[in-house]
Amino acid sequence: MNTTSTHFVPPRRFEIYETTLNQVSMWEENFKNNGGIYIPNSIIIPTDAKQDSLSDDTSHGTPHKFDQEASTSRHPDKTQRRLAQNREAARKSRLRKKAYVQQLETSRLKLIHLEQELDRARQQGFYEGNRVDTNALGFSVKMSSGIVAFEMEYGHWVEEQNRQISELRTVLQGQVSDVELRLLVDNAMKHYFQLFRMKSAAAKIDVFYIMSGMWKTSAERFFMWIGGFRPSELLKVLLPHFDPLMDQQVLDVCNLRQSCQQAEDAVSQGMEKLQHTLTDSVAAGNLGEGSYIPQITCAMERLEALVSFVDQADHLRHETLQQMHRILTTRQAARGLLALGEYFQRLRALSSSWATRQREPT
């Protein structure tokens, strides 16, 4: 059988065998029955790109018998046209399939890569904090290594904090010497001061991260004031636990509460001014022009001041703790630090309870 036309140029490496009109109609049936999936009945066999291989189809063992003589002789042009169309269709189909498979391969590799990254990120810390930040559109943004390190350190810090709180609790339930208590109190104070140092370093790397309290639990974040707890709030929470207080102590604590509030107010107002100047910088010029590099540059300069504010807020926290330590006796300070520690533990517990609460279906 010989159905080659002299115009036909075979594709580089693969060839599909030509068939009769009958075969074409069979395929069409197949195509319809299989929901549009093209299942060729012919075999794709790699061949040399030789013109004459087409005529050697008997040696390649195609299983179909062709009854071509009759149709060819009757309508040679129509047949030729149909065959050419068939070849073209088959070629396009192969190209599409190839493209699709390539896409699948790329996606598969990407998926493997992402899974590996995710595993690595999980292994880097046992603390279930936010490993990956999200921007306004919800796309994941990789955190800098300094922030990742901070999160890990903070995880350790919380563990040590919990251990110290347990120790204080146990020790205060029994008999303990002032000397031993003083040691525990000093350690607890140093532990808080260490956190402020850690935060200061992290603020220099990413002040927005510190300001949003990303490393804290949700309830802690709710009560945040410039990157941490509010000093005046701290005093309010702890005050009932210091009874009995001597007269001079009562006076000192009252004065501390007042000056703490005043300092806080001043810094808060400074913070508000910073926000206003930032808004002015960002919104300067014509909103809607589409180019805003000068505005961003100006805002970036102003943003540097935010780091000083975080430092100043932590300084207030530091000084408040320091003053409490000065005013109180060792035993009172120990009780106060225990109360403070447990207060934060309760906030953390509140966060996880809230996150896992069972809602009643409405």
- Nearest distance from C-beta of residue 269 to another protein, angstroms: 5
- Nearest distance from C-beta of residue 256 to another protein, angstroms: 7
Residue 352 one-letter amino acid: S
Residue selected from 219, 267, 310, 337 as contacting another protein according to rule CB under 8 A: 267
Residue selected from 312, 329, 345, 351 as contacting another protein according to rule CB under 8 A: 312
Q: Within positions 141 to 200, which residues make up the interface with another protein, using CB under 8 A?
A: none
Under the criterion CB under 8 A, does residue 316 sit at the interface with another protein?
A: yes
- Nearest distance from C-beta of residue 283 to another protein, angstroms: 17
Q: Is 38 left (phi over 0), alpha (psi -120 to 50) or beta?
A: beta
- Nearest distance from C-beta of residue 257 to another protein, angstroms: 10
Contacts of 135 (CB under 8 A, 6+ apart): 141
Beta carbon nearer to another protein, 256 or 334: 256
Q: 242-261 mask for another protein (x: CB under 8 A)?
A: ----------x--xx--xx-
Beta carbon nearer to another protein, 114 or 266: 266
- Nearest distance from C-beta of residue 233 to another protein, angstroms: 15
Beta carbon nearer to another protein, 33 or 269: 269
- Nearest distance from C-beta of residue 320 to another protein, angstroms: 6
Q: Which stretch binds another protein (CB under 8 A): 2-10, 29-37, 65-73, 322-330?
A: 322-330
Residue keyed to tokens 């005046």:
232
- Nearest distance from C-beta of residue 217 to another protein, angstroms: 28
Q: Which stretch binds another protein (CB under 8 A): 3-11, 210-218, 312-320, 346-354?
A: 312-320
State the DSSP H helix or E strand holding residue 140, giving kind and residue range, or none if neither.
strand 140-141
- Nearest distance from C-beta of residue 330 to another protein, angstroms: 19
Beta carbon nearer to another protein, 312 or 351: 312
Residue keyed to tokens 């901070």:
150
Residue 96 one-letter amino acid: R
The packing angle between helices 145-173 and 178-205, to 10°, is 160
Strands 133-134 and 140-141 turn out to be: antiparallel
Q: Which stretch binds another protein (CB under 8 A): 26-34, 86-94, 209-217, 314-322?
A: 314-322
Q: In this structure, what are the phi and psi dihedrals at residue 140, rounded to the nearest 5 degrees?
A: -75, 135
Q: How far apart are CA 338 and CA 349, in angstroms?
A: 16
> How far is CA 324 from each of CA 132, 160, 229, 232, 273, rounded to the nearest angstrom?
38, 22, 16, 12, 30
The packing angle between helices 330-355 and 231-238, to 10°, is 110
Q: How far apart are CA 284 and CA 297, in angstroms?
A: 12
C-alpha angle with apex 78: 73 to 80, nearest 5 degrees?
A: 80
| Farthest-apart Cα atoms in the chain, separation | 122
- Nearest distance from C-beta of residue 215 to another protein, angstroms: 24
Under the criterion CB under 8 A, does residue 262 sit at the interface with another protein?
A: yes
Contact 267, 238 (CB under 8 A): no
Beta carbon nearer to another protein, 147 or 271: 271
Q: 270-309 mask for another protein (x: CB under 8 A)?
A: xx-xx--x------------------------x--x--xx
Contact 150, 198 (CB under 8 A): yes
Contact 132, 121 (CB under 8 A): yes
Site residues, another protein (CB under 8 A)? 252, 255-256, 259-260, 262-263, 265-267, 269-271, 273-274, 277, 302, 305, 308-309, 312, 315-316, 319-320, 322-323, 326
